[in-house]
């Protein structure tokens, strides 16, 4: 009996020791911090290979691709969460400039491809459908150029505007210029989408605050392609300044119609010559653009203070060498979005979407790229960059961009009224 008790005691003690060993081993396992690093970081995006937005979307997508090729040539983007460089893979689908198609494809990138980072296609129309999808799936949307003011709200923590300020603040400088010049009769023609309508609203509001009520303030559908009747209607109001707020195809159609209309205005402003000058000049001609005003952006506007990524001259040289195509603002915007993603991966403590968004907030205001200062507010809206007013002035060497307002960035005086 005594022997059986002794054996039983030893067995129980052994079991207890074994259990303690297992507990210690279990504690050691739970304390181990490492999860296996992914073989690649996936960046999901859309592009418009055809349709109304292709001329803007394709160069933006090309800029993002260039960024990925640049980081992969160095072994990948450094990912703090795994303390190593990991190659980047872009997963992209063609939405054909259709918001309906884009809705399906954004969802596919999140739910089927399960991409690590989500990037919007060009502009507010194609970004508008991504905003609610990203919010619903609690996925951070890196928004390159979708600047519609309605995207940025206190209850949406899943959006980051990377490469332009929200369109609602774009006309601040334009309104300031018009009031500074003492221009009283202003005609505003805009498209009824988030991008253009928010500009028109701000412009009219700022002018009225300065004592100027627009003599013409009219919205038309984004699909508008004929401007002859609209131009003659504006002319009836005898404006001293005509402001047309549209997308590239609208600007082209408007300026072409203006050139053939026989009408002449003292000042004409359109949005996209400052972003896609080569495209506008090809379709409208230097004569049709002479003395018109726009918002100048890189490369027409150079920022000297760069502490992250390539400078404008370095980017231009490398991009042209690699792609054999010219540089415009949208190629820069796509590359700049890549830089924001790169900095996010470099500082985020994990690849969880909440940690990615927290990382962006952490470096907001601290990096200066070839696109200017990157700084967002609590709603993810870009507030570090501003858009001045410039005028395209003909010279013996072609059109020259002269920044005319505000004074702190001014490079020359405006020619008003236009010859």
Per-residue model confidence (pLDDT) at position 34: 53
Q: State yes or no: cis peptide before 406, omega within 30 of 0.
A: yes
Q: What single DSSP character describes residue 37? A: P
Distance between CA atoms of residues 129 and 93, nearest Å = 15
| Alpha-carbon distances, residue 23 vs 14, 34, 176 (angstroms) | 14, 20, 70
- Residue 161: closest CA among 387, 381, 341: 381
**DSSP string for 173-206:** HHHHHHHHTT---EEEEEESSHHHHHHHHHHHHH
Structure-token pair, residue 238: 């005898």
Structure-token pair, residue 204: 């009219």
Structure-token pair, residue 13: 């003690």
Structure-token pair, residue 187: 């005609």
With 0-12 CB in 10 A as exposed, 13-18 as middle and 19+ as buried, what is 307?
Answer: exposed
Per-residue model confidence (pLDDT) at position 262: 93
Question: Domains, the chain, ranges and CATH?
Answer: 41-166+302-374 (3.40.50.2300), 171-294+388-409 (3.40.50.2300)
* Matching residue, tokens 């999860």: 35
pTM summary value? 0.86
Answer whether 214's CB lies under 8 Å from 174's CB. Answer: no
Answer whether 163's CB lies under 8 Å from 192's CB. Answer: no
* One pLDDT digit (tens) per residue for the chain, 419 residues: 444 443 343 444 444 433 434 333 343 333 334 578 999 999 999 999 999 999 999 999 999 999 999 999 999 999 999 999 999 999 999 999 999 999 999 999 999 999 999 999 999 999 999 999 999 999 999 999 999 889 999 999 999 999 999 999 999 999 999 999 999 999 999 999 989 999 999 999 999 999 999 999 999 999 999 999 999 999 999 999 999 999 999 999 999 999 999 999 999 999 999 999 999 999 999 999 999 999 999 999 988 889 999 999 999 999 999 999 999 999 999 999 999 999 999 999 999 999 999 999 999 999 999 999 999 999 999 998 889 999 999 999 999 999 999 999 999 999 999 99
- Residue 247: closest CA among 306, 208, 193, 185: 193
């Amino acid at each position: 009996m005594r022997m059986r008790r002794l054996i039983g005691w030893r067995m129980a003690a052994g079991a207890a020791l074994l259990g303690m060993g297992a507990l210690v081993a279990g504690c050691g396992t739970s304390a181990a911090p490492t999860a296996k690093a992914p073989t690649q970081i996936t960046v999901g995006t859309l592009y418009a290979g055809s349709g109304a937005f292709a001329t803007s979307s394709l160069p933006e997508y090309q800029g993002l691709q260039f960024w990925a090729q640049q980081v992969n040539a160095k072994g990948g983007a450094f990912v703090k969460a795994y303390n190593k460089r990991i190659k980047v893979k872009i997963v992209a689908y063609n939405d054909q400039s259709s918001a309906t198609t884009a809705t399906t494809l954004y969802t596919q990138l999140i739910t089927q491809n399960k991409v690590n980072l989500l990037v919007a296609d060009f502009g507010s129309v194609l970004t508008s459908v991504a905003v609610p999808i990203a919010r619903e799936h609690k996925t951070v949307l890196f928004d390159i150029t979708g600047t519609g003011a309605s995207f940025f709200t206190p209850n949406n923590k899943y959006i980051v505007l990377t490469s332009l300020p929200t369109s609602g603040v774009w006309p601040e400088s334009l309104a300031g210029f018009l009031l500074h010049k003492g221009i009283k009769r202003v005609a505003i023609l805009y498209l009824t989408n988030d991008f253009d309508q928010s500009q028109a609203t701000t412009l009219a509001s700022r002018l009225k605050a300065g004592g100027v009520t627009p003599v013409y303030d009219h919205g038309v559908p984004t699909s508008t392609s004929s401007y002859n009747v609209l131009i003659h209607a504006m002319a009836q109001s005898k404006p001293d300044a005509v402001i047309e707020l549209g997308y590239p195809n609208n600007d082209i159609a408007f300026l072409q119609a203006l050139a053939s209309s026989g009408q002449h205005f003292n000042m004409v402003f359109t949005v996209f010559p400052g972003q896609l000058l080569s495209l506008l000049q090809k379709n409208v001609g230097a004569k049709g653009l002479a003395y018109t005003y726009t918002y100048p952006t890189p490369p027409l506007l150079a920022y000297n203070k760069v502490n992250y990524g390539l400078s404008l001259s370095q980017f231009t040289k490398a991009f042209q060498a690699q792609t054999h195509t010219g540089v415009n603002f949208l190629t820069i915007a796509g590359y700049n979005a890549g830089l924001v993603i790169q900095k996010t991966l470099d500082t985020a403590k994990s690849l969880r979407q909440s940690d990615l968004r927290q990382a962006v907030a952490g470096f907001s205001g601290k990096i200066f790229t070839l696109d200017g200062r990157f700084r967002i507010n609590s709603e993810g809206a870009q507030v570090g960059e501003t858009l001045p007013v410039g005028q395209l002035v003909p010279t013996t060497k072609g059109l020259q961009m002269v920044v005319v307002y505000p004074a702190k960035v001014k490079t020359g005086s405006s020619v008003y009224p236009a010859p």
